[in-house]
Chains A and B, each alone.
Chain A
């Protein structure tokens, strides 16, 4: 079963678990399963149906935006990671 690593600030919404096992054949399925298990995560990952611009999903070293986005297929033993891109401005 694929596992997703949760960034530190969002572990407050996963019972402080750093890693969550998920079901799904694609990244989109896996994120839907993750946010079904932990609904409070969803508004911080998604804006409507779209991933927030500063939220990046990696499979190993690969950013899914350079693969097939939420349609990217995943394998049972894939290690996924949610990595924010910090940004600020005035």
Chain B
């Protein structure tokens, strides 16, 4: 799978993830799907609703957030194509927790944020869950 993300949208994600540090942050990816290419048209930040003391390693959004953004995507002629979140102080690789709460056909963009004197995004990777739920495969992330 190829994931195409505009440089300015990537910078927006980076800024949000740095602001959330040392907690996790995240949001939805709206875009279009054409064959094996997902093109991200917009990113929508969603507040982390996990218990405050767990937010350093957990991120969650409500079902109402999903319903609202799915309806918004439809209204804008877009598709809810994925979601993004950060991994503070750990690699941009899906965890077992990520896999247990994931859906296939949905792009997962993970940003690793590390404190290198100040919080900085050090890596962004895109992933897709296999249909048999066994593991994620890396997508090719193209920044345009």
User: B-contacting residues of A (Cβ < 8 Å)?
Assistant: 7-10, 12, 40, 43-44, 53-54, 56, 58, 63, 81, 83-90
Contact = CB atoms under 8 A, between A and B. Distances in A.
A52 to B, nearest CB: 8
At the interface, is chain B mostly helix, strand, loop or mixed?
A: mixed
Given A10-B103, A10-B105, A87 B67 contact: no
At the interface, is chain A mostly helix, strand, loop or mixed?
A: mixed
B106 A9 contact: yes
Interface of B: 24, 26, 28, 50, 57-63, 65-67, 70, 73, 79-81, 83, 85, 87-88, 90, 95, 97-98, 100-101, 103-106, 108, 110, 131-133
Which 3 pairs of residues, A with B, have the shortest CB-CB distance? Answer: A9-B106, A90-B87, A83-B63
Contacts of B65: 86
Contacts, number: 90
A85 B103 contact: no
A81 B64 CA distance: 11
